[in-house]
Chains A and B, each alone.
Chain A
Amino acid sequence: NAGVTQTPKFQVLKTGQSMTLQCAQDMNHNSMYWYRQDPGMGLRLIYYSASEGTTDKGEVPNGYNVSRLNKREFSLRLESAAPSQTSVYFCASPRGVRNTEAFFGQGTRLTVV
């Protein structure tokens, strides 16, 4: 039982390049989230999906797109990477409709140069 799996673990992009961060969960949860973590800023919500087929903006959605491909997978896409998107990205999947416990992936450390 892997829980939440994120790929890749590390990535370096040049400004303007695009990439997709992948996330998969095997817990049969409805909800999946993408956060970014910057020093001194805690975790900020980028996008979330409360159920298959729905996505909603979080606190910092600009510059990102998401796809809830099926119940297991939720991807985050950077269409044109900017240095301000240098961060550690976490995928999470909370349990239940009231988000009672979130399970996190190991994170993707992204550097945009």
Chain B
Amino acid sequence: SQQGEEDPQALSIQEGENATMNCSYKTSINNLQWYRQNSGRGLVHLILIRSNEREKHSGRLRVTLDTSKKSSSLLITASRAADTASYFCATGAIGSGNTGKLIFGQGTTLQVKP
């Protein structure tokens, strides 16, 4: 089964509102990353949080990480219609030689209505 499980699977909000997505994972990790995918395109890296960090900000993005609960959240503040996309968490699992696999969750589809 996949390492990352995301919640909710789909989210629909009005422009200007905040969007929160959650990710849970199963094994020990080096880092956790969030990616965005526009329809029909490849994924684009948004932000990375290391296992020894608890919170990180980048523009309108805020990521938290709770390693005791094996969970992370992505908050997009003041959402825009252009934020409409699918969002995925990915975990850099600890493996032999520190070259663990990069495993993705199932994603959250966000729709921001103008």
Q: How far is the CA of A34 from the CA of B105 in the complex (A)?
A: 15
Number of A-B pairs, beta carbon distance below 8 Å? 80
A50–B99 touching, CB < 8 Å: yes
Q: Which residues of the other chain, A, contact B25 by a CB distance below 8 angstroms?
A: none
A42 within 8 A of B: yes
Chain B's closest residue to A42 (CB) is B106
Q: Mark B71-105, 1 if CB is under 8 A from A, else 0.
A: 00000000000000000101010000111111111
Distance between B77 CB and nearest chain A CB, rounded to angstroms: 23
Chain B, interface size: which category?
20 to 34
- Of A31, A98, A100, most B-chain CB atoms within 10 Å: A98
A98–B106 touching, CB < 8 Å: no
Chain A's closest residue to B9 (CB) is A40
Chain B's closest residue to A44 (CB) is B2
Q: Which of A42, A50, A104 contacts B42 (CB 8 A)?
A: A104
Give B residues with C-beta under 8 Å from A: 2, 4, 6, 9, 30-31, 33, 35, 40-45, 48, 88, 90, 92, 97-107
Give A residues with C-beta under 8 Å from B: 4, 31, 33, 35, 40-45, 48, 50-51, 56, 58-59, 90, 92, 94, 97-107
